[in-house]
Amino acid sequence: MPANIKNQAKLAVKDEYIFDFLELGEKHSEKELETAAIAKIESFLLERGGVFAFIGSQYKSVVDNEEYFIDILLYHRLLKYLVAIEFKIGKFKPEHVGKMQFYLALLDDKVKMENENPSIGIVLCKSKNKTIVEYALKESNKHIGISEYRIVKELPFGLKDKFPEPENIARLLGNIG
């Protein structure tokens, strides 16, 4: 990847994304995270910098009669590269890099056009250990970013007193059944 594109690509991948606009609770599945992102794709793309085009969710590729699905596939209009995004609701694991390398090789061979730059991948996970990430990416020849996402855990200060405590909600719901 040319140096000027490489530097811009690094800037395009943030270290952390705030996904409070997805309105998810603290506990959610990868599918719920993806579905919420798709439902609010405009906000999602703006959070990612506003220069991305949406290509698809659960983007399907077939290799030797086996199907593979990339959670979200975007296109960066200025830098001319495909961006594969994988959601992980837990902490980062080294095997996530292997899966992303596979997806990027597949995109570069079967989807990328001749005038486009090599694809990049972003693994969005709930948490990561920087040392584990560095070792996992050390031998990778693909352009992969590991980013955390955060769902706001508490209501903003001005709204806190407008809602009942979780214990009261649980008690009230328990009385219904």
Residue type, 129: N
For residue 48, pLDDT beyond 80: no
Cβ count near 31 (within 10 Å): 12
Question: Beta strand pairing status for 143-150 and 120-127?
Answer: parallel
CA dist., res. 143 & res. 83, Å (int): 10
pLDDT at 114: 93
The answer to whether the CB of 121 falls within 8 A of the CB of 97 is no
What is the pTM for the complete model shown?
A: 0.66
19: DSSP letter: -
For residue 91, pLDDT beyond 90: yes
The tens digit of pLDDT for each residue in 140-161 reads: 889 898 988 777 655 555 555 5
Return mean pLDDT, the chain.
78
For residue 120, pLDDT beyond 60: yes
For residue 143 the two structure tokens come to: 């352009």
pLDDT at 113: 94
CATH number of the domain enclosing 133: 3.40.1350.10
CA dist., res. 82 & res. 112, Å (int): 7
CA atoms within 13 A on the CB side of 157: 0
Mean pLDDT of 65-83: 92
For residue 72, pLDDT beyond 70: yes
For residue 14, pLDDT beyond 80: no
- Total count of domains within the chain: 1
Which residues constitute the domain of residue 39? 3-176
For residue 108 the two structure tokens come to: 């570069």
Question: Strands (DSSP E) along the chain, which ranges?
Answer: 16-18, 52-63, 66-76, 81-91, 120-127, 143-150
CA dist., res. 69 & res. 60, Å (int): 5
For residue 68, pLDDT beyond 80: yes
Mean pLDDT of 136-141: 90
